[in-house]
Structure 1
Amino acid sequence: MAQPSPSPVQEALGEDDVQAIDQLREANARLRNELAKVIVGQTDVIERLAICLFARGHALLMGVPGLAKTLLVSKLAETMSLKFSRIQFTPDLMPMDITGTDILQDGHNGRREFQFIHGPVFANIVLADEINRAPPKTQAAMLEAMQEQNVTVVGKSFKLEPPFLVLATQNPVEQEGTYPLPEAQLDRFMFLIELDYPSEAEEVRIARTTTGDALPQLDHLLTPEDVIRFQHLVRRVPVPDHIYTFAARLVRKTRPNDPTAPSWLKPLVSWGAGPRAVQYLILGAKARAALLGSYMVRLEDIHAVAVPVLTHRVITTFAAQAEGIDAKKIVSRLAEEANMER
């Protein structure tokens, strides 16, 4: 009896990868249900954090105080059995407070010798709280860790244990005494995730959930090895050629000097997104497709990640700010127009 021919998806992915995507979809559903025990609402934020984790990207969280950013990140790490650390950035924070340093201690042979003491960056998920409160020298201490997953201290290199994810927060209200992140450093973050106020019903649930005796303990749904396995899986999700083209054209339209940029954009944008934005659009779309159980990237996956990928990479002019037009509105309009041009 003839065996049925494999589907195009199975040929592109392999049967084991198809089964792994089904497992990731189920794990994603369990993750949402588990986090819902302590986090009220914020479903889009949870999805985007999961995308960053499985795409091996970092995220910048933007929101006013009191929106459970720290709780959300710590509980995300708890459900995946990942080591979590929190760094409170302050004006007097030094790079060695992040990376660690050599300390002179008594050795086994009776002689004093230097021993490296690991800093809080040696974790799987690092929350850099109010990163813009530290001076640029300290902010830069995170760059090597974010890009290379490596830390260099006194000429010695130390590898960070995977998986590794940096989630940095900024307070959009209080800007006095802060050091805004430069564009080159912002570009290191895959997503800009904005947290908004909860609805009235959600705020009532928050009051009921958080004013009791203790928060519930969450189940450990994944191991670090599972996370790494799914990260490799995301990279293998197939992307049709027209999706690559669409992503590249969308990014090019954000650049005011590009011939494909619409005429209305040029007085509003002083600087557009770079090539890293194309990479993150594709990686974000791959991760979203896998988390939702899709075996191939679709155009809707690109649209879903366009705003968090591009918003912090589009620098608006004074004219745009005077008219109340922010980068998020510009990116949304560009995505709509690009979709209509297909």
Structure 2
Amino acid sequence: KANILAHKYENPTPIQDKAIPHALLGQDIVGLAATGTGKTAAFLIPLIDKVMKQKGERILIMAPTRELAVQIEKELAGFARGLGFRGMVAVGGANIGPQISQLKHDPAFVIGTPGRLKDLLERKALVLTQFGTVVLDEADRMLDMGFIDDMRLILSKMRKERHTLFFSATMGKDVEKLIGDFLESPVIISVKTRDTPSSIDQDVVRIPRGKDKFEVLAELLKDRDFSRVLVFGRTKFGVEKLAKALSRLHIHAESIHGNKTQGARQRALEAFKAGKVSVLVATDVAARGIDIPAVSHVINYDLPSTYEDYVHRIGRTGRADMKGKALTFVQERY
């Protein structure tokens, strides 16, 4: 309880309020909730309670990206401080050796991406029958990223009698099929607010024909109000190039994208969170599931490819009762 209060969680968010009681009762849950709704705590709090009350209980958490897995583990460490059990992260892009060693200690929580979990399973380092509970976080993203076969394989190797918690921002056909195949009469909890929160002020920045949009971005970023800005680009190469070009103008910028090592991404993220860097340039995939508190502005430097991506991008600002601003660059043709 003290750990929860230390997180400044005094009142539960809607998803926590609705999900925690069912999870404590051991019921399967489908939680339809976007990032930024407090869903991580909605499954961690009841599951920590379970681990404390049921000796030997182990929990597997699947997440789409390395960043999200690391973040869940961080939150777990905060909630479970001083309680005498541990969690570990099993993700690609990091050496598998230390992960195999950690698994020998039977950590209560194993948090990983489907690809690496499958790898550990095949090496017999991970024994899934020891886990009585599984969480699928951002299941729709895992499907989008092509993890369906790995997810099905992992779930099929788990005990039939298990507790399954399933979280997704959207409910498509594939998601429904997965729920139908692997969950036992789940309680469906939806806290879908309107697509875009009212705390986000959305605007378009028109770039006149012949004007360089990089110059427009650089001008904007010199404004003091742009204190912590997330800029979205379309490609890994473009994002890297943009961050370097901004740095040359003495605008403190870092980038996160798929070509960077896990360590480099983590360092960029930490520098941005700590305020050492005021601009973080990211691709859609790299920004999935990372938690960045208090972003003042989100700038769509390149247009998102889908409406879903747009909602996901701008949802990074205006979180937890704070006002945010989202700007989308549009080049005028004429």
Fold in common (TM above 0.5) = no
Which TM-score applies when normalising by structure 2? 0.32
TM-score by length of 1: 0.31
Q: Which has the higher contact order (CA 8 A, sep 6+)?
A: 1
Structure with greater helix share of residues: 1
Asked which structure has the greater CA Rg, the reply is 1
